[in-house]
Copies of this chain bind each other. A is one copy, B any other.
């Protein structure tokens, strides 16, 4: 695996100790998420939209309706995936922070077609709902035509993370203030069946597996 490239915009200028330069770290952050934030420029202004994504090897896939404004931009994008892992509470307000893992991917996506388009949709669906692609009805021609799939090469990316306790100034250590980390987790609740679901269909194993 080749390391992540360093370019002007992926070289960390601050908190360099939080940077990760191996590709495995990038995969790990991307493969732990369900939605990303897609940044585009529309009429000269930045626009950031939450959306699904998937990864196949060194390509990230995004999708949307053919009518979606954010996919018409046709230019450079920045895709950011963030996991909030903890609230870092310090003895001083200044040293409050968060534990997190984040990845920024830069590039100009191309439109995926044919088999790649379907593979991209599969990756996006499976990221959100693992096991569903082989269970649910696959997209038909009309649905495929209504969907744009964009492919973004993982050529230029940066990964940043923070872990561990607060880092207070030494002279604050004697303060009468609690300090530590409040862990944050994304968890799933009990599945809620569609009110129109046939009563003989039970929650499948691959969904049940994600529940508490």
Contact residue among B82, B104, B128, B194 (Cβ-Cβ distance under 8 Å from A180) = B194
Q: Copies of this chain, how many?
A: 2
Asked if A114 is at the interface of the complex by the 8 Å CB criterion, the answer is no
Instruction: Check B46 against A93 for contact (C-beta < 8 Å).
Output: no
The interface size of chain A toward B, counting residues with CB under 8 Å, comes to: 98
Using CB atoms, name the residue of chain B closest to A170: B196
Instruction: Check B182 against A96 for contact (C-beta < 8 Å).
Output: no
Chain B contacts for A13, CB-based, 8 A: 67-69
1/0 per residue A150-180: CB within 8 Å of B?
0000000000000001101000111111111
Docked CA distance A24–B80 (Å): 28
In the complex with contacts A34-B87, A92-B139, A48-B182 CB distance below 8 A: no
Instruction: Check A178 against B192 for contact (C-beta < 8 Å).
Output: no
Using CB atoms, name the residue of chain B closest to A122: B93
In the complex with contacts A80-B37, A128-B96, A129-B89, A175-B137 CB distance below 8 A: yes
Chain B contacts for A104, CB-based, 8 A: 47-49
Docked CA distance A177–B40 (Å): 36
Which A residues have a C-beta under 8 Å from some C-beta of B? 8-9, 13-14, 34-35, 37-50, 52, 65, 67-69, 76-80, 82, 84, 86-87, 89-94, 96, 98, 100, 102, 104, 106, 121-122, 125, 128-129, 132-133, 135-140, 143, 147, 165-166, 168, 172-198, 201-204, 207, 210-211
